[in-house]
Amino acid sequence: MAESRKMSDPDKATGFALILLATLCITYIIENFLRSAAGALTPVLIDELGITHGAMGWLTTAFFLVYGVMQIPAGLLGDSYGPRKTIIWSTAVTVLGVFLFWINRSYPVLFVAQFLVGVGSSTFYINSVKLMLEWFPSSWKATAVGVMSASSGIGNTVAYMGFPLVYERFGDWRGFYIAMGLILLLNWVMNLFLLKDKNTPNGRLSLGDMIDSVVNVVKNPIMRPYIIAYAFRSTNFVLSIWITQFLIEAKGFSYVEAGKITSIGTLAAIPGCILVAAISDRMRKRKAPLIFFAFLTFLANTLILLLPPGTSVILFSTINAVMYISVGYWVLFFSMVPEILPQNESGIGLGLINAVCTLGISFLSPIYGGLVDYTGNYTVSNLILLLGTLMVPVIMLKIDDPYGWEK
């Protein structure tokens, strides 16, 4: 098995790995644009559809709930049929959801569109990580995952900065949205020719085998802190979903100013993911950089939420940038899980941690908005998020560093 995983032609494999990374980054940029679209459009959609904060929370849940539920099947599909085939078919569903989102004029249609985009996007990250871990050498695996993960910041930035600017200038957001959807369609055609599995898929598994595999991973005591900590990581995502609306209503910024602050953060996430991953690879450690950056995330979150109204856009943007750089610690989870699990269980493990996080987002986002409606302010909602953010480094203090444990 070890011999089969070695690169028979290192130079050729490295060249292909870079091509693979490039096309996967394009897909991930667009998928994160789509993921962020509802959050970036929150003020517009609340006004356009005449809905409450709680209803807006459920709209984001339409994406994240199905995305979370699909994470374990996403890993199983990748293990059984191969990452390439899984990515190709699921991206086609995403494209369908994009066109439905574009033509919508009502809350129910938008809800269904979000659901389809969530289904289609759900398998991509896990299976793209599996492809990179197959094609990149050990000393570059975390960095490769970090680079692709960093590309998410481009998609998020395009959404959070692009929508306010386009809407302010043209009074409509749909043309901008569908243009990104067309780029995804072209990239899907690229992936038909460029994506390639290195390892042979396991083939079809029976339902019983799938359940047994999931149970084995869940029962593995080494995995438990990863599962619990990454579930609390969902609080970072919930803040990113609501931060534009929070900055407008609680801090007094305009839609464009809030978009600028948010987009500075999402831009900072690009070097953040690469920086954290590169530091980890160069230190040959996972635990220490993860705990450091997770705790720094908590401190930056606290400042963002406590700064008084009237604080300058520059200061808010700076602290938000620090928060988004430090939150890049999340990429280390996706290097660590394959290091502690056998190859035939790594897809399930990756899917599991992504599932608990995304389900956490689905659970917390409408609660966050509902509490704002109920209390008339953001205090209780934000205290919940801060507690969850702090729990990540506290829980990960208990693990042993998994660097070099690859099965």
* DSSP string computed for 269-328: HHHHHHHHHHHHHHHT-SHHHHHHHHHHHHHHHHHHHHSPTT--HHHHHHHHHHHHHHGG
Domain membership flag for residue 289 = yes
Task: Give the pLDDT confidence score for residue 11 in this predicted structure.
Answer: 40
Residue 220 lies in a domain: yes
The CATH number given to whatever domain includes residue 342 is 1.20.1250.20
Question: For residue 81, what pLDDT is reported?
Answer: 82
At 385, list the tokens: 């998020």
Range of the domain at 157: 9-396
56 domain residue, yes or no:
yes
CA distance 107 to 113: 10
Residue 375, CB half-sphere, CA atoms under 13 Å: how many?
Answer: 13
Question: Is residue 403 included in any domain, yes or no?
Answer: no
- Asked if residue 404 is part of any domain, the answer here is no
Looking at the structure of the chain, the number of domains it has is 1
Rounded to a whole number, what is the distance in angstroms from the first to the last CA of the chain? 10
Q: Indicate whether 405 belongs to any domain.
A: no
Q: CB-side exposure of 162: number of CA atoms within 13 Å?
A: 21
| Structure confidence at residue 207 (pLDDT) | 61
> Which of 55-69, 100-114, 151-165 is predicted least confidently?
55-69
What pLDDT score does 9 carry? 47
pTM, entire model: 0.72
User: pLDDT per residue over 369-406, tens digit each?
Assistant: 889 888 988 999 999 999 999 999 999 998 998 887 65
pLDDT tens, position by position, 50-88: 878 778 878 777 887 888 788 778 777 777 788 899 999
Local confidence band at 4 (pLDDT 50, 70, 90 cut-offs): very low
DSSP letter at 377 equals S
How many CB atoms within 10 Å of residue 387?
12
| C-alpha dihedral, 354 to 359 to 361 to 365, nearest 10° | 170
Kindly report which listed range (202-216, 310-324, 334-348) carries the lowest average pLDDT score.
Answer: 202-216
Q: Is residue 68 part of a domain?
A: yes
| Residue 28 within a domain | yes
Give the pLDDT mean for 89-105.
89
Cβ-contact 361, 64 below 8 angstroms: yes
Task: Return mean pLDDT, the chain.
Answer: 85
| Cα R_g (the chain), whole angstroms | 20
Share of the chain above pLDDT 90, in %: 31
